[in-house]
């Protein structure tokens, strides 16, 4: 319990530090939300808008007021979407990003683990070299390049999928694959490295000497230990992939939180940007915390107090 409380305190401290730094960086950027209006605002109207959003107050006072509201669950009003709150915008767009990220995470785990384990079991053979070469390619290519290639091939060449939208299941496939492939490549390499390390242990040779089949050895003995590097990666990766991709959502015109975040940053919609940052950082810290706890389930030698029980 002490470990859990300690880590939860660090989650709160980390989110607060990220939110504080983001607040002063965003507010220190040149320009303001009302300079790029379609209609030129008169000085009086602009001053009234500044007072409405408390932007005429000292910066420290703005920070204290914003932080107090965030602690109460109120991220403030949007400066560009009149009549909408940041909490409402996040509640509307975050489920779309989570749906896209969940499907991409499923693709990444299935593809990454299967290829990584297969490469480890056929070490230094053609299958191993082929799969790891593809993994290196997947890590090297940014997801916007992968998305562009998928659009060229699957949309324009074969016309198998629509280009954009979020109304049918066919709209989800391409963005989910484009988002999943870089993560799948990293999972594949980590799974291969973890499995190779475990397969060289004495207890694996003992299991093989007893006549167990390769499938039994992998599933019953090697898999749990071999997944430890993957679990370490899945903490931040899951948080990143579940909150969507800024680029992928923009390319495929998906109205998720990532796309709204980009638009808010361009439009200087301060409170939307800060709300998205707080949500992103909270999800990331929570998943890292869950990964630390999951270590004790996968490897009994690891204790939550950081000591090795062996």
In a domain, 115, yes or no: yes
Domain that holds residue 178: 88-254
Quote the longest CA-to-CA distance of the chain. Answer: 85
Structural domain includes residue 52: no
CATH number (domain holding residue 144): 1.10.3720.10
Query: Does residue 227 form part of some domain?
Result: yes
Q: What is the pLDDT of residue 303?
A: 58
How many domains is the chain partitioned into structurally?
A: 1
pLDDT value of position 164: 76
Do the domain assignments include residue 46?
no
Question: Tens place of pLDDT for every residue, the chain, 310 residues?
Answer: 787 888 889 999 999 999 999 999 998 888 777 765 545 677 788 788 888 888 889 999 999 999 999 999 899 999 888 889 999 999 999 998 888 988 999 999 999 999 999 999 999 999 999 999 999 999 999 888 999 999 999 999 888 888 877 878 888 899 999 999 999 999 999 999 999 999 888 888 888 888 888 888 888 888 878 888 898 888 778 777 876 577 888 889 888 888 888 888 888 899 999 999 999 899 888 888 888 777 766 666 655 554 444 4
The answer to whether residue 165 is domain-embedded is yes
In a domain, 93, yes or no: yes
**What is the pLDDT, as a whole number, of residue 310?**
41
């Amino acid at each position: 319990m002490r470990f859990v409380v300690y880590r939860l305190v660090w989650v709160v401290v980390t989110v607060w530090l990220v939110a504080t730094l983001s607040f002063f960086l965003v507010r220190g950027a040149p320009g303001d939300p009302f300079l790029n209006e379609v209609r030129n605002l008169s000085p009086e109207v602009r001053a009234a808008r500044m007072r409405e959003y408390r932007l005429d107050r000292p910066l420290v006072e703005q920070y204290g007021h914003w932080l107090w509201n965030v602690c109460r669950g109120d991220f403030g009003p949007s400066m560009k979407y009149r009549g909408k709150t940041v909490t409402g915008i996040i509640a509307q767009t975050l489920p779309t990003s989570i749906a896209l990220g969940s499907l991409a995470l499923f693709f990444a785990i299935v593809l990454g683990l299967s290829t990584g384990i297969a490469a480890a079991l056929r070490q230094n053979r053609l299958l191993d070299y082929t799969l790891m070469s593809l993994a290196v390619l997947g890590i090297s290519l940014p997801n916007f390049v992968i998305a562009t290639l998928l659009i060229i091939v699957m949309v324009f060449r074969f016309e198998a999928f629509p280009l954009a939208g979020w109304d049918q299941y066919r709209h989800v496939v391409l963005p989910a694959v484009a988002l999943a492939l870089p993560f799948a490549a990293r999972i594949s390499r980590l799974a291969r490295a973890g499995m190779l390390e475990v397969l060289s242990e004495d207890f694996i040779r003992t299991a093989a000497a007893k006549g167990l089949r390769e499938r039994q050895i992998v599933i019953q003995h090697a898999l749990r230990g071999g997944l430890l590097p993957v679990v370490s990666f899945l903490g931040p990766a899951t948080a990143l992939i579940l909150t969507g991709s800024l680029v992928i959502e923009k390319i495929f015109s998906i109205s998720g939180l990532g796309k709204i975040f980009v638009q808010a940053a361009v439009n200087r919609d301060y409170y939307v940007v800060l709300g998205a940052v707080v949500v992103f950082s909270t999800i990331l810290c929570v998943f890292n915390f869950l990964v630390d706890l999951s270590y004790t389930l996968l490897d009994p030698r690891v204790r939550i107090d950081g000591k090795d029980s062996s």
